[in-house]
Structure 1
Amino acid sequence: MAAGSGAVVLALAALTWMPGTLPLFEPQWPMVVAFLLGFLALLSALARVLPAGSDKSQLWQAFRCLPGRAQTGLAALAVVGALLAFGAGAGDSRDVEVRDGSYFAYDAQAHRMVEVAQSEYQALLPGSRRMFFAIPGVLLVGASCMVLAAGELRRADRGPVGAGTGHR
């Protein structure tokens, strides 16, 4: 579920690069939901990984025991997430907001928010939201990797199927 949610949130981050404006970026709730999902998934993943008492090398080896398609899919999502997160600073990604019916954008030269036209606000809006979708997407994909690796460690600790049960 975390990987699927991460893919959706990363797709939203990728949509911020598309020309034009989408009504999804104006409200703040999609970003809040994305961060909440990412945070909860990361806490859940840590709750599964920490009791296993494994280190990073064991988790990496367990991840490498996952089926090839799962590894490829998660690796592709991680690369896309990293590119989106690092690329979020590229271009015009100034902070924007609406106050009392006026539109404001951060001016780096003046080091403060300055009033801008609505058309400029609309043009800057997707770029200002990009990082707020990329980060939770990366958190969700990372949580998915950790949970699946912890599951592989647990499976490996139990040994082969049928061991110790008398079945052969």
Structure 2
Amino acid sequence: MGWTFKAHGALAYALGLTLLALTALTWLPAVALRIPPTALTWLTAAILALLIPTFLSAGIRAFLARADRHTTWQAFRCLPAKVQLALALAGLAGATLLALTISGGGSLQNAREKNGHYYAFDTSPLTRHTVEISRTQYRAVRHDEGRTWLLLPGVLYVGAAYAVLTAGELRRADRASEDA
């Protein structure tokens, strides 16, 4: 596997693991990592500025490998055991945090402040409209939104690392078979 695949995979993995760790910290009451609403704008911009080229180039590399799921799985199994374990644990952590976030969230979304009042969109089955909420509920909804904005890119980064490293392994295997 070429060094560009390794560097790309390592960057995607490191960014994904960082975001997953920050997401996990938002769940710990002792740490109580709170993301202020003002920080969400620049944090989101920074995450997306790195996510878009990393994820798109990973997708292109995986597409150029022209492999089906079975072949990709075989390439993953050819990676070193430590890399397999690291990717599997990060994927499991992402899936666990995603399940916690989905199950722990309420029916309120898209909290905003207007003229000193707090509003959120209620997605409960019988309501489905904007409702006025308390400041405490507003903060809780904003905190949950911040957690989601850390979690989803983290999962996508880990997926990009998987795609890049398996594509690199497929490319290495293709070159070895051409040389033989």
TM-score (norm 2): 0.77
Aligned residue runs from structure 1 range 144-155, under 5 A: 144-155=161-172
The answer to whether 1:83 aligns with 2:96 is yes
- Give me the identity figure in percent: 36
The answer to whether 1:10 aligns with 2:25 is no
Task: Return the structure number with greater helix share.
Answer: 2
Q: Give the Cα–Cα distance (whole angstroms) in 1 for the partners of residues 33 and 132 of structure 2.
A: 20
Structure 1 residues 152 and 24, CA gap change in structure 2 (3 angstroms):
farther
Aligned residue runs from structure 1 range 35-74, under 5 A: 35-74=48-87
Q: Which stretches in structure 2 are left out of the alignment for 5+ residues?
A: 1-10
Question: Deviation of residue 33 (structure 1)?
Answer: 3.3
| Residue pair 2:40, 2:146 contacting (<8 A) in 1 also | no
Question: Deviation of residue 116 (structure 1)?
Answer: 2.4
Structure 1 residues 84 and 31, CA gap change in structure 2 (3 angstroms):
farther
Q: Give the Cα–Cα distance (whole angstroms) in 2 for the partners of residues 21 and 144 of structure 1.
A: 26
Partner of 2:173: 156
Q: Give the Cα–Cα distance (whole angstroms) in 2 for the partners of residues 26 and 90 of structure 1.
A: 26
Question: Deviation of residue 151 (structure 1)?
Answer: 0.7
Tell me the amino acid that sits aligned with residue 103 of structure 1: Y
Q: CA RMSD in A?
A: 2.4
Runs of 4+ in 1 over 6 A off after TM superposition: none
| Residue pair 2:12, 2:54 contacting (<8 A) in 1 also | yes
Structure 1 residues 106 and 17, CA gap change in structure 2 (3 angstroms):
farther
Aligned residue runs from structure 1 range 114-153, under 5 A: 114-153=131-170
What's the CA shift string for 1:52-75, capped at 9, x where partnerless? 221111111111111111111110
What's the CA shift string for 1:89-134, capped at 9, x where partnerless? 2223432222344322333353222222323322332223333322
Answer with 1 or 2: which has the greater Rg: 1
Structure 1 residues 130 and 22, CA gap change in structure 2 (3 angstroms):
closer
Q: Which stretches in structure 1 are left out of the alignment for 5+ residues?
A: none
Partner of 1:99: 114
Tell me the amino acid that sits aligned with residue 112 of structure 2: E
